[in-house]
Amino acid sequence: MSYIRADEILPIELLEAIQQYVDGQLIYIPRKEKQQWGSGTSAREFFRERNERIYRAFMEGISEEELSHRFTLSRKSIQRILRNKKLTADPDAGSTQSKQ
């Protein structure tokens, strides 16, 4: 990430006020509106598709251990993906209450 020199863009009064807190250090100023993770890249779509492939393979009988090897993920990661996909497919699957 590149930086912009504050003395080139900020009014001197504001720069002097900031210097009272941080003098000569790099600071990060967050965006006003937070972006969702993966919105600037294709990562979100990549992981959604990968997780869908993992879930389909599991439903076809592939074991968690084999999926772990195929996708180079830990078994815990495979279990988390499967649990999340099951909850998405059936929202009642995560409920601990029995229906009467």
pLDDT digits (tens, 9 = 90+) for 39-96: 777 888 899 999 999 999 999 999 999 999 999 999 999 999 999 988 877 666 555 5
Q: Which residues contact 54 (CB under 8 A, 6 or more apart)?
A: 67, 71, 78, 81, 82, 85
- Structural contact between residues 64 and 58, judged by C-beta atoms closer than 8 angstroms: yes
For residue 98, what pLDDT is reported?
44
| Six token digits for residue 7 | 């003395």
3-state helix, strand, coil in the chain (%, to 5): 55, 0, 45
Domain ranges for the chain: 43-91
Residue 91 CA to residue 8 CA, distance in Å, equals: 53
User: Is the entire prediction scored with pTM above 0.85?
Assistant: no
Per residue in 7-32, pLDDT (tens digit) is: 999 999 999 999 999 988 888 888 88
Which helix (H) or strand (E) element contains residue 78? helix 75-89
